Structure 1
Amino acid sequence: MKTDWSCLSKRLARMKHAYRRSIHAAIAIACVFFGGAATAGDLCVLVPHFKDEYWLSVAYGIEARAKEKGLTVHFFEAGGYRALSHQVEQIAACEGLDARAILIGAVSSDDGTLLSAVSRAATHRPVIGLVNELHSDALMARVGVDWSQMGAVIGKHLARTFPAGMPPRHAVLLTGPGESGWTAPLEAGLRSGLEGSALSIDAVLSADTGNAEQLRILEKALAGGSTPDVIVGSAPAIEAAMALHARAGSGPLLIATYISHSVARGLVNGSVAAVPFDNPMLQGRWAVEAAVTAMGGVGRPEPIGPPIELVTKGISPSTLKMSPADYFPSLD
């Protein structure tokens, strides 16, 4: 099979040597598996919402790679993780468009109605799992990282920061809704990584990952009067905490559970201490490669995703590759 080396990111040269080696190997493996010619056609891409900037980078990666492959992309956003019926309707809309493949960032990992809709759509074209866990045997491929590893990377970093023997420290976790599929493994990985440290998670609050919803649970976490030593939160939660941090002049240590443009700016100016970087743009590109391969009748049972790198504050703005600041996909 011919390898399409154009999927090697130019950003590799700017990354740390060890990480560059690991991601180079991962990309090479993905390129060998996915390498193959595409024919023109339509892709349908379903995401929970674009209120969370993370999905903008995923979409940009999809759009850029699809253009290189001569594919047209139709983007649909459900409106949030609680918009289950809307996402089911959007699957039907993709069927009506006669899309050659569907890429789905699922709003639920195991809802029966959604799983039935995916199975129905998959009888006529490949369906690819995108970022979020979806417990469906109908998927031809899954592109995304292991969210328990995302949590473990954070937990181990905090365990080094607050080792056993220090005075006890306290954290809160602000995360997405349980039905999303990524929140439970992330929390489990975080707690595993923290084992034996001086830091404990005193509260877990969850909501949809829009800015307003995450601000509300942040306010709830701080309403008791005692300020936690650490806030571990989704990108929108940390964005809200950054604003409070700036007004107060000081505050808890802020750790994001995934990257966004706002979190990246916080890393640069030092208001965010760390985040695990899972390269959402590259995941978007790989999802297109998976769709092209699946359109050729070849699936992949095991998920594929980039290596996870812990990124800490004070980085250069050019270190993390994400979508342009003014990018927003055209929606169907």
Structure 2
Amino acid sequence: MRWLSLWLTLACQALLAADWFPYPVHVDGRLLDYRPLPVASQPWRVCALLPHGKDRYWWGVAWGLDQEADRLGVRLGIYEAGGYEHADVQVAQFEHCVAEGADAFVVASINTYDLCSLAEVQSNAGRPVVDLVNRLDCRGLSTRSRVDFADMARASLGYLVRLSGGRQIQVGWLPGPADAGWVQDAERGLHQALAGTRVTLVHGGYAPVDRSRQAQLVRELFKRHPHLDYLIANAEAAAFAAQLARNIGSEARVLSLYATERVLEQIREGQVLAAPTDSPVIQARIALDLAVRGLQGETLPQLVSPRIEMLDAGSLERFDLGRLMPPEGHWMIRQELPD
């Protein structure tokens, strides 16, 4: 753990010391260098809604939002709902931000639908609503800053197919909560990628991405299918499965569907094979910049996506961790929308 803390501190210090841009992204399918605004035209009030703050993935998103708000000179409220089982809390938080007179909204939604009526009203009133990370299926959204988890799943399966040399393999699958847009996208991409392969997919079920529920699914999956070759799983399930497989003598090798600090540590230690990263800190920075651009009358693209990278023992040393998580010592940021 010490090596990761030091490396993370140095990486994020470098990110703080220099601009994070220009940054290579796909903008409506075209590869471009993203350059944000130098400063906002006024101190706009922006509300950010996140599903939870239980891990450093979402700590990184909150940190990226906060850093970009400081750089642009806007006022930012950050709210987290406490978990994917609390969609009602996120709805109430959106309503709270509306009551507080927020100028714009950046939303990492718990599911694809509950916020749609609220989002559509705000968007129609000229207040930008930016879809961040998770996918919100609503008419009238201003723009999206997210990576398609279908591509994350395709990258994960492609990595395993190359690693196995095309032989017949049995792969377990533990994606996360069923109603989350990113899980639905990942399943779509995975099933598309299975075509023409010699992969047998074993579904382990759905649950929120907290350790206790994912641990239960991992145990049940390993019990029912003791001869898995690989497991692709959400980060909580992957981290637990890597430890459990070693303890029970399973030969299953684990790949995480996305990268977190704990997963990176296990990749470094050889417990987890690899994980694709969607650069959540960068997604957050871009989302806030897009919200400000929308407030200032610019025509916005439909979708901005950082490029996906596979992180394994060979590529991890070259990766800038400031794209993925906050510096050491930074925890989840929660703050009310300032006046």
Which TM-score bucket, shorter chain as reference? Answer: 0.7 to 0.9
Give the letter for the 2:48 counterpart. Answer: V
* 2:303 alignment partner, SS class: coil
Note if contact 1:42-1:73 (Cα within 8 Å) is conserved in structure 2.
yes
Alpha-carbon shift at residue 195 of structure 1 (Å): 3.0
Note if contact 1:150-1:257 (Cα within 8 Å) is conserved in structure 2.
yes
For 2:21, the equivalent position in structure 1 comes to 8
Alpha-carbon shift at residue 217 of structure 1 (Å): 1.2
In the TM superposition, what whole-angstrom CA distance separates every residue of 1:102-148 from its partner, at most 9, and x where no partner exists?
A: 1000111124xx21121233325211111111111222111001111
* 2:131 alignment partner, SS class: strand
Distance 2:273 2:284 in 1: 26
Over the aligned positions, Cα root-mean-square deviation in angstroms equals 2.5
2:202 maps to 1:202 = yes
TM-score in terms of structure 1 length: 0.85
In the TM superposition, what whole-angstrom CA distance separates every residue of 1:236-273 from its partner, at most 9, and x where no partner exists?
A: 11111133245457641111101111111112112111
Note if contact 1:91-1:121 (Cα within 8 Å) is conserved in structure 2.
no
Distance 1:8 1:266 in 2: 29
* 2:306 alignment partner, SS class: coil
Q: 1:270 to 1:8 in 2, by over 3 A?
A: same
| Runs of 4+ displaced beyond 4 Å | 20-23, 314-318
Distance 2:156 2:225 in 1: 26
Distance 1:249 1:315 in 2: 28
Distance 1:257 1:301 in 2: 27
2:298 maps to 1:298 = yes
For 2:134, the equivalent position in structure 1 comes to 132
Give the letter for the 1:217 counterpart. Answer: L
Give the letter for the 1:78 counterpart. Answer: A
In the TM superposition, what whole-angstrom CA distance separates every residue of 1:67-93 from its partner, at most 9, and x where no partner exists?
A: 111123211111222211111100011
Alpha-carbon shift at residue 6 of structure 1 (Å): 3.3
Q: Name which of structure 1's ranges 59-68 and 307-316 shifts more when overlaid on structure 2.
A: 307-316
Q: 1:71 to 1:318 in 2, by over 3 A?
A: farther
For 2:242, the equivalent position in structure 1 comes to 242
* 1:267 alignment partner, SS class: helix
For 1:62, the equivalent position in structure 2 comes to 65
Distance 1:92 1:72 in 2: 18
Q: 1:192 to 1:124 in 2, by over 3 A?
A: closer
Q: Extract unaligned runs of 5+ from structure 1.
A: 13-19
Distance 1:210 1:298 in 2: 39
Distance 1:121 1:203 in 2: 39
Q: Extract unaligned runs of 5+ from structure 2.
A: 1-17
2:310 maps to 1:310 = yes
2:116 maps to 1:115 = yes
| Counterpart mapping for 1:266-277 below 5 A | 266-277=266-277
The structure showing larger relative contact order (alpha-carbon pairs under 8 Å, at least 6 residues apart) is 2
Distance 1:318 1:67 in 2: 28
Distance 1:243 1:317 in 2: 23
For 2:12, the equivalent position in structure 1 comes to none
Note if contact 2:53-2:332 (Cα within 8 Å) is conserved in structure 1.
no
Equivalent residue in structure 1 for 2:98, among 78, 95, 102? 95
For 2:160, the equivalent position in structure 1 comes to 158
For 1:188, the equivalent position in structure 2 comes to 188
Note if contact 1:100-1:125 (Cα within 8 Å) is conserved in structure 2.
yes
2:84 maps to 1:81 = yes
Distance 1:269 1:249 in 2: 17
Note if contact 1:131-1:145 (Cα within 8 Å) is conserved in structure 2.
yes
| Counterpart mapping for 1:218-237 below 5 A | 218-224=218-224, 226-237=226-237
For 2:319, the equivalent position in structure 1 comes to 319
Alpha-carbon shift at residue 63 of structure 1 (Å): 1.1
Identity %: 26
Distance 1:225 1:199 in 2: 15
Note if contact 2:113-2:136 (Cα within 8 Å) is conserved in structure 1.
yes
Distance 1:190 1:82 in 2: 24
